[in-house]
Structures are given as C-alpha cells and as structure tokens.
Amino acid sequence: MYISINNENIFASNGGKDFDSEKKCIIFIHGAGMDHTIWSQQSRYFANKGYSVIALDLMGHGQSLGRASDDVKFIAKTVSKVINQLKIKEAVVVGHSLGALISIELAKIDNKIVSELVLLGVCMPMRVSDELLSNAKNNSQDAFRFITMWGHSNFSHLGQNIVPGVWLTGTSMKLLESSAKGVLFSDLIAVKNYDENNELLQNILCPTLLICGSEDMMTPIKNIEALDNNINKLSKIVIPNCGHMMMLEEPDIVRSEIASFLGYHKA
C-alpha cells in the first residue's frame, strides 16, 4: 500500500494481509541501500500471526517516491508521520543497521506508541570508511561489492542458503545495484553523522531486543558497549556464524527470536 507523506507516496508491504490499525503493528525498517523485500521472511510470518505489518520502503528507496534523506532524525520524523496517518495505536519497531538508528529515534518520538524495539546489526556510533563513502558518492560498483562482501558471513559466501534456489550474496548485490543513484551515499552519510549520546539510550523506556551476528564485520559485537550499558530493558542474542545481514542469512532464527521476545513481554 501507499501512504502520502509531504505529497510523496511511501510504499509499505503488509505481508500479504490487509492492514488493520486496531491490531498491534510491527513496523520493519530496512538498512542502507535496501528496501522492504529484505523482511519478506519475517513480514509474512507475523502478518499471519495476528499482527498488522508494514515493511517500509524509506523515501527514495524501492517503490517509494521522494528523495533519500541523509539525516536519521528527519527520516524518523517521516516514519512517525506514517504511524500517525495510519492511526497506529501500538507498534513494535524492528530496524536493521540504518533502520535500527531510525528505530531508536522513533522510540523517543513516539514513546507512547512504541511498545517494543528490535535492533539488528547496529552499534553506536556506527563508523563508515572514507573509501566506502567515496565509492558510494560516485555510484561505483565497488561500494556495492564492499557491502556485499563485508555484510555476509563466510558461510553465506559459500553459496549455500536455507531458502532453496536463493543466491544470497548475488541477490544482495542486485538489490544494491537497483537503488537509485545517490541513495546509498545519502544513507551512509546519515549513518556516519548520527552520533547521539548515551542519554538517548538511557531514555528508551520499552523492552528492547538486540540481535547480533557473531561474524558481523560492519557492526561488530565488540562495538555494542554503548547499547549494552545504557538501554535499561535490553535483551541480547548472538547468532553464531552469521554476518551483518542476519534477517537474510538466518531468517528462521531472527523470526523465532523476535516471536519469543514478543511472546515473553506479552505474557
């Protein structure tokens, strides 16, 4: 479905079910250069488990119109407008990488609506190399190759995938290549420039699940200290032999961990 925000249409997948604002909603937010399709294994599952689902294409990404922003806070305010326009009363926000930073901001903006937070592949601050930024600015294939190479575990590079017929790294590369010119660069600038202090994390009031990959080279476990030490209601799990793209590399585990987390807090 499309939601009109600031005269631009933003696309959201509903996981194959009609959206119902009366139900608890799960909002999926993708990372840099990606779109809603990275959540296909999770969005369909939860849509069939009684939740309303919106897996967003951020502005300028996928099927959404508008220009990609290089400001995490601006993007979060745009997503907040989506939440308000759809009259969502209670939401779980699930974000990966850039999407996780946006989710953290949303927990501040809409703290009475966001009931749980799920963060994947994130640390604070998130560093972006100058070489990657330069390649992304020039829309170089090297930027796409770098993210594909470093974003997946060694196991994923062997060509195996638990989803039959899917070439994981090839699919990720094609998704990055399909992004509009300048989108990846804007996303990476947003990540690089976002550097909130620990007070923001300490003010996250809702239960939060942090999902890490043991082989994540883009947001390595050793760099999650700020999150680990400052989010009060934090649960943390580490997926073995998994890289930065955990919702693609280990979709069943990610889905199961989110379901367990939500079931625990629902009880």
Secondary structure letter of residue 223 according to DSSP: G
**Domain range 2-266, CATH architecture:** 3-Layer(aba) Sandwich (3.40)
| Beta pairing partners, 223 | none
Cβ neighbours for 240, distance < 8 A, ≥ 6 positions apart: 214
Q: Which of 90, 70, 69, 71 is nearest to 27 (CA)?
A: 90
Q: Which two tokens stand for residue 177?
A: 């290549």
**Which residue type does 226 have?**
A
Q: What is the pLDDT of residue 171?
A: 80
Q: What is the pLDDT of residue 67?
A: 93
The CA distances from residue 121 to 152, 191, 200, 219, 250, in Å, are: 11, 12, 19, 6, 13
Q: Which two tokens stand for residue 143?
A: 């930027």
Cβ neighbours for 226, distance < 8 A, ≥ 6 positions apart: 123, 124, 198, 201
Q: What is the pLDDT of residue 198?
A: 87
Q: Which residues of the chain have pLDDT under 50?
A: 267
CB atoms within 10 A of CB 92: 25
Cβ neighbours for 85, distance < 8 A, ≥ 6 positions apart: 3, 4, 5
Instruction: Check if the beta carbon of residue 19 is closer than 8 Å to that of residue 52.
Output: yes
pTM of the shown model: 0.94
Q: What is the 3-class SS of 131-164, one letter each residue?
A: HHHHHHHCCCHHHHHHHHHHCCCCCHHHCCCCCC
Q: What share of the chain is helix, strand, coil (3-state, %, to 5)?
A: 45, 15, 40
Domains of the chain: which residue ranges?
Answer: 2-266
Which backbone phi and psi does 236 adopt, to 5 degrees? Answer: -135, 135
Q: What is the pLDDT of residue 267?
A: 34
Q: What is the pLDDT of residue 247?
A: 93
